[in-house]
Amino acid sequence: MKLNFPSRRSFSIALATVFALLLVAVRAPSQDTPKPKEFSKAVIDLGMVVRDIDKSAKFYTDVIGFTEAKGFSVTGDLGRKIGLIDGHPVDIRVFVLGEGDLATRLKIMSFPQVAGKAPDQGFIHSTFGFRYLTIFVTSTDRAMERLRKANVKPIGETPLEIGTGTRLTTVRDPDGNFIELIGP
């Protein structure tokens, strides 16, 4: 079989194109090749410094519905080495939503010997950083009953219907942090 090319240059270009296409085909990852797993858990833990750890623990268990799990302590030296604490030891209480490795964990700690600064909690846009927690509930009515029993009043005009039978209720925890409760 004889291929007719108008010139040697055309033949070289055609050959280079074929090799380039083969190279791309060999190096291109297959769409069936799974991406390497970047994270060992699909959920995150949240750490929160509070003024009164007992008051916050009561709020997150009795009012919101978290369950307290086994906590842990961090020495002042370890806290300094990891760059989160300037030499103060701390006991951390852990609260979970759900069970097992996929449960959300809220880690609450207090430093009564160190006066912290409260952020501006007027609105979520008042201060940079994490501004609120969204918690999905199975019943807004049951969540509202827990709020009433604890004398916690929703803020804004909540609970508010946000579509398809779903309501959003916004409250503040003892330190003024915003909590959204979303559910039927």
pLDDT per residue, tens digit, the chain (184 aa), is: 555 555 555 545 554 455 545 455 555 555 677 777 787 778 889 999 999 999 999 999 999 999 999 999 999 999 889 898 898 999 999 999 989 888 999 999 998 888 888 888 899 999 888 889 999 999 999 999 999 999 999 999 999 999 999 999 999 999 999 999 999 9
Indicate the pTM of the whole model: 0.75
- What is the spatial distance between Cα 184 and Cα 136, in angstroms, rounded to a whole number? 9
Domains parsed from the chain with CATH numbers: 39-116 (3.10.180.10), 120-184 (3.10.180.10)
Dihedral angle computed from the Cα positions of residues 49, 54, 55 and 57, in that order, rounded to the nearest 10 degrees: 70
Tokens of 127: 């201060």
Listed in sequence order, the residues at least 6 apart from 25 whose beta carbon sits closer than 8 Å to its beta carbon are none
